[in-house]
Amino acid sequence: MKYREVGATGVRVSEIGFGGGGNAGLMVRGTAKEQQSAIGRALDLGINYFDQAPDYGDGISETNLGHALKTFGAHPIITTKVEVRSQDLDDIAGHIERSVDASLHRLQIDCVDFLQIHNGPLMTRPALSGRSYRHLSLEDYLRPGGGLDGLQRVQHAGKARFIGIVTRGNDGAAARQLIDTGCLSLINVSINLLNPSASIRPQGMRVGQDFDEILGYAAAHRVGTAIYSPLAGGLLTDQAVGGGAPHPLARELAGPDARGAGLQQARAFRFLSRELDPAAQTDDHNLTEAAIRFVLSREGVTVVLGGFSDARQVEQAADCAAKGPLSNVNMTRIEDVWRANFLLEL
């Protein structure tokens, strides 16, 4: 395993992190034995970064991680988050304090290393309703009693060492303004072969969620980045492009329309898998490994979050850390796919 510093914090994290989200299913639907097997293997392989949020199984993932780490007597670096919903808007800072206290109780610790707001920032105020927390306005981040105020209260209380945000695409201007405050140490960003816009926007390629080359801006301001969805929600796997079923613990890939378009795009990268096209292979990897190694090679990336369903998947992701970037031949072919917009009219 290799390690990278998170911005200017002095904290060094493994290039591969352990994601606790619900898509892969392990931390919310797996048994305690399955969870301990995967977490124990991750620790053995040098993975020291675990990403959490209260919304992952309504606190179940945090609870399960807390139990497993206590069993191992392990103290890795932990990030958790706060979701701001419509009912929290009158007291965002107070809600953040209360949410963190509940997370710390579930995780069985006194302080998290990083605390993030799970809502992506927007220049305008979004319409929040029900359980939605996708975005939060820049004004609600910056006003007294708002998001940044709440994060700093928790930090000053010694319950979080560093603070940050999550970006969700089409929010680059607001994210830059929050980085400019100098308060943030870590942002979560999505980048993968289907949408590289956090790093580069190839001519001819169209994306629905534009991450506005935020990786370079974060790096220039010494802010670390944790990468979510490196496999595009499970699309960038040999199993998915081959028409196979997901892991028994994992969610279905997506709705039928998005799944169909996403799979067509992912299939444009079949040449990256030795299993699907061994004659054309110029580098020793399958599609999953290629997708992770691509992300690790992008400037400004600190840690790539794996969504794991079992210990074997942990091993496969950890193995990518030592293998370096993709070959020049394969990168040229990837860029050709981007410029042709996946050979699709979307």
Q: What is the Cα 285 distance to its own chain's centre?
A: 22
CB 102 within 8 A of CB 76: no
pLDDT over threshold 90, residue 246? no
Among 56, 133, 217, 228, which one carries the catalytic annotation? 56
Q: How confident is the model at residue 244 (pLDDT cuts 50, 70, 90)?
A: confident
Calculate the alpha carbon distances from 153 to 104, 149, 186 in Å: 15, 6, 17
Q: Where do the structural domains in the chain lie, given as residue ranges?
A: 3-252+288-327
Q: What is the pLDDT of residues 173-223, one digit of tens each?
A: 999 999 999 999 999 999 999 999 999 999 888 898 999 999 999 999 999
Q: Which of 146-150, 278-282, 290-294, 319-323 has the lowest mean pLDDT?
A: 278-282
Q: Under CATH, which architecture does the 3-252+288-327 domain have? A: Alpha-Beta Barrel (3.20)
Q: How confident is the model at residue 252 (pLDDT cuts 50, 70, 90)?
A: confident
Q: How confident is the model at residue 322 (pLDDT cuts 50, 70, 90)?
A: confident
**pLDDT for the residue 274:** 74
* pTM, 2 dp: 0.95
**pLDDT for the residue 343:** 80
The mean per-residue pLDDT over the stretch 80-105 comes to 98
**pLDDT for the residue 345:** 45
What is the SS3 assignment for 17? strand
pLDDT over threshold 60, residue 278? no
Give the integer Cα–Cα distance in Å for 192 and 310: 22
DSSP-assigned letters across all residues of 231-243: TGGGTSSHHHHTT
49 is catalytic: no
CB 240 within 8 A of CB 266: yes
What is the SS3 assignment for 41? helix
Count H helices and E strands in the chain, helices first: 13, 12
Give the integer Cα–Cα distance in Å for 239 and 208: 25
Give the integer Cα–Cα distance in Å for 215 and 202: 15
Calculate the alpha carbon distances from 111 to 29, 59, 94 in Å: 26, 17, 17
Query: What one-character DSSP code corresponds to residue 310?
Result: S
